[in-house]
Amino acid sequence: MRHARRRLVRRMTRLVAVGGLLLGGAMIAQAAMASETPPASARTFASAPAGQDTGAALVARLGTARTAGNWIGTDGRPVVAVTDDAAAQAVRQAGAEAKVVRHSMNELKSATQTLRSAPRVPGTAWAVDYRTNQVVVQADSTVPAADWSRMNRLAARIGTFVHMERAKGTFTPRLNGALPILSTSGRCSAGFNVTDGQRDFILTAGHCGPAGSTWFADNQGNQQLGRTVRSAFPGNDFSLVQYASGKAGDGAGVVAIGGGKGVRITGVADPAVGQRVFRSGSTSGLHDGQVTALNATVNYPEGTVTGLVQTTVCAEPGDSGGPLFSDGIALGVTSGGSGDCTTGGTTFFQPVTKALSALGVRLIVSAPGNGQGAAPSPAPSASQAAVAPSAASPGSSAPVTGASEGTTLLARLTDTRNVGPGLLVAAGSLIALVATRYIRAEQDRKAYQRHYSAMWG
């Protein structure tokens, strides 16, 4: 019985060892394929969500007199608002969902132009809501009753598709952001790193400070970051802070999301209505929400800003200038809003694409899967797949200071992207197989000795 058990153990050990050799070989082969440089088509920097591309193309083809905007549906499919059945049929034939509405984009834009031409009321904001086919006008708690009544009368004259509502809190620019930068003008945040090919800059909010402002990385003013060289506010809300050293350094293509982690930024695009987005800020950290409108107008106490992205992402004082992104794609920098991250609210963002174009700079990006080696991005040439709002993710995580910093030998050996794990499994299995053969030979030799000792002893 004892010999039978030994034979069973040896057989099982040999089977496990052979299985380990096969598994190790497969792991080595998989790691080798994963380490190959992806083709050029896979390495191009993403542009806009595919759903947005389809919807925007249909809107451009059908015209603003027959359409009223496009957005990403809850299932990730593009939706286009149209004003007639023929346009709806063309949208469906293109593979998108059509929603027939009463008012065209021309009518909706005419309404916003009428609102803009009226006397300015600080504390108000408006934007076209594609999904409800309305122009939504918001007023915060600072708007006097007389001004609110006057705006209601103006809205009634424009039409019933102008919807009036009160907003929580007050519309104010949000200071600070993902990584704090400080000056005598106040505390703001680094949004994204950009370059003109010779010098590197921080792209942040324009209301953070005028040109000439000097920025530091600490409260004591010992670590000088740079100086604001371009600023636009109001009207727009973006500025450039030139690094004192001229270069952004390692990890320039990564934005902080808290806890010493970051998200690699691999491209730039305009957001789409209905898209799930993420914002990072030094006060409230990482939060997500949804894009609800584009080309929004906000009447801050300091002045009016147009062309903003309106979202449901919460923000608080201390979050301004911080990055807005989705799946590693840069979308905007935090401008301002109302509410907070306890009760919720509305937050507006300056589109990155518009800022880059006006400033003549390019986004510094991280190559996919690489925390370092940031380089200027080329013109967007690829589309990012549409993501359903319930399935989006912030992007691939990476240490804020670069992916390779602090990496140990053990971590590299056990990284599934390397051949180390496969080699370890294969080597261990080979040792086990050799050991079982040695043990079997040794047992046979002893049995032989015992047999002949009994015969000749």
Catalytic residues: 207, 237, 320
Does residue 137 contact residue 165 with C-beta atoms inside 8 Å? Answer: yes
Tokens of 405: 């910093």
Residues 70, 76, 80: CA angle, nearest 5 degrees: 20
Tokens at 60, concatenated: 């451009």
- Listing DSSP states for 371-438 in one string gives SS--EE--S--EEEPP--TTT-----EEETT-TTTT--HHHHHH-TTSSHHHHHHHHHHHHHHHHHHH
Which amino acid appears at position 297 of this protein? T
Q: Would you tell me how many other CB atoms lie within 10 Å of the CB of residue 214? A: 17
**423 Rama sector, left if φ>0, alpha if ψ -120 to 50, beta otherwise:** alpha
Secondary-structure breakdown of the chain: helix, strand, coil percentages, each rounded to the nearest 5: 30, 35, 35
Partner residues linked to 134 by β-bridges: 129
- Return d(Cα 158, Cα 160) in angstroms, integer: 7
Q: CA nearest 385: which of 254, 272, 256, 253?
A: 272
Could you tell me the strand order of the sheet in which 78-82 lies? 67-72, 78-82, 97-100
Pick from 223, 219, 181, 184: which is nearest to 202 by CA?
181
Beta bridge partners of 297: 126
Query: SS3 of 79, please?
Result: strand
**CA distance between the termini of the chain:** 26
